[in-house]
Structure 1
């Protein structure tokens, strides 16, 4: 049978666009799923120099099979043979136990439809079997950001990203469409450029002890401002140059002096200046203490003596230092926030008020409170 008749019979949705049959555009059907392809066959009926373009769905399916497709093109004698072999290869990938065996064809089609609005160049990782995709965005400063979606094609996909919690909540609110979440993700990345620049300025000019390895999600920093005294900043990612929430940690006698400076000069905060410069101005510093050269993290911890949590008796809990302290000058015991919260929750004398829980210090009995996590 003539090659054109075979193509018309087997691939009725793939249509030639000229009389020379050198350009085709349309759909091929693989296991009930339709995929769009375009074919440029300049020397038809010969397949020499043929160029194939595929929609995202079949491109993802055949990713990594480029050499196989080239071999098929070289060994097939007719365009019909090539199309048959291409469909067979795609069907094998849909049935591959390493690929989509754990999902139904309907689910596979749903996933492909979800990803149809996303440029393949932005896809960093795709696992159809796990219904997971990782999308990438490079911002104006060259930083790479990743949006991970699990359970795509389902009503409530699971979403994670290297964004502050406030921004991540905005992305999640746009679910379940992958395309809409990715667009909002890109908008959030663009709107947070100043925030990340400000946090980098803090990291480069201050001795940061918490978190150990700051990432793009973190909106807080704990920095050393004196011997055994630290300052914890909570920065607003939407307005990073405004005055942050500031909390001092250390011996009460020393800390009270810094609090007085802060109260006296807080109105001098200039949103046009950098956050480190503002901190130096309101605290009356010429410069911040620097981490001694040649010291590793353990030696640095000994130098700053952050102390152990009174509850769990460890310095770091899941990478975080104690951030809550007893307000009594005679006590000064310190706690990880989660440890203190769990302890106060277990005491019948504790009570909640808005987003805080209050009770008695387990060390001295003085009144103490901490934020309620979440």
Structure 2
């Protein structure tokens, strides 16, 4: 695959499936490595990078995967990636930095809900993922996005359940409210998920038998 548009992009293995380099965005040089599944397309390629690159791209994983599937070349993908990073950095510069109350409230909410429920926390402290165990011990991910004006601005929340149940009807700033609400929702879907799993298992068993 061609690399001429990025002179700092270099082949990293003998098979031609791994490249390393830098992408320069707004004066920042961001190291990365991209590993291809094959030399014909970018589908299923894996992009790794510096902690700063990972921080900037946190929450944009679906968009990256889509572009990797759609872009016919490394050149086109990195043009799109650079455009995305420029927009992210520009947006960050426009946003005010949080004050002390932001960090205090965030820490107190995590203390209240339990740190064992925290699966991931974006380095910017603006996005996090909580884990909810339903009555059947299935794990559900709750995605929370915070504004730097939090706690004055409510949380943005969704969960990996059917779309009709993925959003809270009322805004909240409390993580415990989020856990409580989605615990009830998860319980409602528990039987449906169990039946679906049972049907899937029986189908797979029938295919093997």
Bin for the TM-score computed over the shorter chain: 0.3 to 0.5
Greater Rg, structure 1 or structure 2? 1
Normalized per residue, which structure has more helix? Answer: 2
Bigger relative contact order, structure 1 or 2, given CA contacts below 8 A and separation 6+? 2
Please report the TM-score for the alignment, with normalisation by the length of structure 1: 0.26
